[in-house]
Chain A
Amino acid sequence: MTTAEIQGTTLGERVPVGGRFGWLMTIYRYALVILLALVFVFPFVVMLTTAFKVSDEIFTAPPELFPRSWTLEHFYNALTQIPFWRFLINTVVIAGLSVLGTVLVSPLVAYSLAKLRWRGRNLLFIMVLATMMLPPQVTLIPIYMMWNKVGLTGTILPLVIPAFLGTPFFIFLIRQFLLSVPDELIEAAKVDGASEFRIYWSIVLPIARPALITSAVFQFVWAWTDFLYPLIYLNDEESYTLSIGLYSFLGQHGVQWGPLMAACVLFTLPAFLIFLVFQRYFIGGIATGALK
């Protein structure tokens, strides 16, 4: 950002358009960026205001943005017409376990790739890269058959166990981060007689904290928003996540836009909060280019 500001200032001073009409350029710049932001944000406004409208007001042509009278009835309906709390708990459990698996296991593998020297390390790295690029459709059916054979379809285990076996994306991300950690730190601990695991646990992991948080927040949002895998593995309403619960909601109750939008608001909110708190980790993760 600082570079941008510096660039901006020099541009502003040098370019002759400034002068007396500089303020016009400023207005123009802000008008553009506000318009841009509006395109992205406007749908949220519609989601929110629809959720607060009384049912009669939802269907008006032409549509009106703001409710004439605000109501919480749709939020009440969304929470009572479907087992919302059950879906929420299921989603939290799956997302929580996935995050746990990711932060426990992916850095272990990343450490082996970044800081240990052993025969086969390059081969393993190629394996990580190759699996990152493989379309999941190719492995979808055999993996389903495998879980089916051991009787775990219908449970949440097929959704969380993979995180405990290392996720290629996060292994890659953390490895890139660890490459920038100076070897001297590790050497020094080794001279002091620390075991490899101790070095990993008490020196490397604390240093890798930013990369771990980035992985954790992305894993959380992915698990929170995932649709295809819960759709395949969860066949009992008791174990539905919010994605699947909301999806079938539309079928069971026709299209009730009020409660549906209210449920969407409640579903989106936790991901938003995570985003607000960990914003710089998200933006940092995107800047590395490995994540979107």
Chain B
Amino acid sequence: MSEARSRNSEPTGRALLKGLAFASPFIIGFLVLYAWPILASGYYSLTDFSLFKAPKWVGLANYERMISDAKFWKSLYNTLFFTFVGVPVDIAISIAGAHILNQKLKGQPLWRALVYLPSIVPAVAAGFLWRWLLNAQYGFVNEILRWFRIPQPNWLLDASWGGISVIVLMLWTVGGTMLIYLAALKNVPQELYEAAELDGAGPLRRFWHITWPMISPVTLFQVIVLMIAFLQVFTQPFVLSKDPGLGTQTATGPGDSMLSYSIYLFQNGFTFLKMGYASAMAWVLLFVTLAITLLILWSAKKWVFYDNR
């Protein structure tokens, strides 16, 4: 094309072909890795099948079976526990840490790198490291608690602490969220603080009336992202609960306290080969995620502040 045509006036057919050509890998990927599997998963969830057995239609039997499956409820309860305890604590630590990093300090890149470093540790290595740190007798976590005369739980072997151990491990990678909040704090206009200070507002009131509303859109997004991550948690409890006697088989922690939803789904699909049941579980997870997301978005009207200046 030698004539100087603007891109808008390019023939629509040609433009379409070009657009499709550049996007074609993902269009194939979408069909093969998303669209078809979603339909197949929906169909599988209504069947009884495994690797060695063709799908047999059972209607809603898989969903009905969940109602009386105590392990299903246990895994759902554990996962909601991780989520509803882990996400708020994660957000609180991130905001507090971001304030510490947002002070007048030399060596900013170093401090930022140090808090982010745990986030790039392979989850398996992190899991093993924390098994060692949380070891009731020889671990450093209890040693530190001992200095401060705080009672030391038997983290990994006590059913009431297993879930908290999983949350502790996940909180080690809170640095990413902290850096996002650090960027958000830097975007809050300084004039607001100066005006508040002239009015005699103390640090707590300045946080509550300026910082918190100004960063609330970031909080909304982070709550959703973290909630999705916690609902899908797999590797952390899988490694923390590993029984040294088993190869790649799963253990689920004392009293099943580390049995996450995704672990139970994985067990059903790949250990017990109940792939229909596992597919049905995946759909329930999707709906739980959607329901909680909608709930958060609905509540956002009450606490998220959009600056429309």
Which A residues are within 8 Å of any B CB, using their own CB?
Answer: 1, 3-5, 7-12, 29-30, 32-33, 36-37, 40-44, 46-47, 50, 58-63, 65, 105, 108-109, 111-113, 116-121, 124, 127-128, 131, 133-146, 148, 162, 164-166, 168, 171, 183, 186-187, 190-191, 193, 196, 200, 221, 224-225, 227-228, 231-232, 242-244, 246-248, 250-252, 254-255, 257, 260-261, 264, 267-268, 271-272, 274-276, 279, 282-283, 286-287, 289, 292
The distance in angstroms between the C-alpha atoms of A254 and B243, with both chains bound, is 9
List 22 A-B residue pairs with CB atoms under 8 Å apart, sorted by A's residue number: A11-B104, A63-B138, A109-B22, A113-B23, A116-B18, A117-B19, A118-B12, A121-B19, A127-B26, A134-B286, A137-B265, A142-B37, A142-B38, A142-B279, A165-B32, A225-B121, A246-B124, A250-B128, A251-B247, A257-B132, A275-B113, A286-B179
Shortest Cβ gap from A154 to chain B (Å): 13
Q: Which of B2-10, B67-75, B294-302 contacts A (4 or more CB under 8 A)?
A: B2-10
Contact B44 A141 (CB under 8 A): yes
B60 in contact (CB, < 8 A): no
Identify which of B100, B125, B138 gathers the most chain A CB atoms within 10 Å of its CB.
B125
The distance in angstroms between the C-alpha atoms of A139 and B44, with both chains bound, is 11
B213 / chain A contacts, CB cutoff of 8 Å: none
Contact A268 B121 (CB under 8 A): yes
Starting from the known contacts A8-B105, A36-B97, A58-B138, 20 additional A-B residue pairs (CB-CB under 8 Å) come to A41-B114, A43-B118, A50-B132, A105-B26, A108-B25, A117-B19, A118-B12, A124-B23, A134-B34, A135-B232, A135-B285, A141-B275, A144-B270, A190-B5, A225-B122, A251-B248, A261-B132, A268-B122, A275-B120, A283-B113
Contact A140 B121 (CB under 8 A): no
Instruction: Render B257-301 as a binary contact track against A, CB cut-off 8 A, 1 for contact.
Output: 000001001100110000100110111011001000000000000
B101 in contact (CB, < 8 A): yes
Shortest Cβ gap from B6 to chain A (Å): 7
Which B residues are within 8 Å of any A CB, using their own CB?
Answer: 1-2, 4-8, 10, 12, 15-16, 18-23, 25-30, 32-34, 36-38, 40-41, 44, 51, 97, 100-105, 108-109, 111-125, 128-130, 132-133, 137-140, 143, 146, 172, 175-177, 179-180, 183, 186, 190, 218, 221, 225, 228, 231-232, 234-235, 238-239, 242-248, 262, 265-266, 269-270, 275, 278-279, 281-283, 285-286, 289
Contact A247 B190 (CB under 8 A): no
A-B contacts, CB under 8 A, total: 304
Contact B19 A112 (CB under 8 A): yes
Contact B140 A46 (CB under 8 A): yes
A139 / chain B contacts, CB cutoff of 8 Å: 33-34, 37-38, 41
Shortest Cβ gap from A179 to chain B (Å): 15
A231 / chain B contacts, CB cutoff of 8 Å: 248
Contact A246 B286 (CB under 8 A): no
Contact residues of A: prevailing secondary structure: helix
B278 / chain A contacts, CB cutoff of 8 Å: 141
- Complex A-B, nearest 3 residue pairs according to Cβ-Cβ distance, in ascending order: A8-B104, A165-B29, A118-B19
A46 / chain B contacts, CB cutoff of 8 Å: 129, 132-133, 140
Identify which of A61, A250, A252 gathers the most chain B CB atoms within 10 Å of its CB.
A250
**B121 nearest CB neighbor, chain A only:** A268
Contact B38 A137 (CB under 8 A): no
Contact A251 B245 (CB under 8 A): yes
Contact A292 B225 (CB under 8 A): yes
A275 / chain B contacts, CB cutoff of 8 Å: 113, 116-117, 120
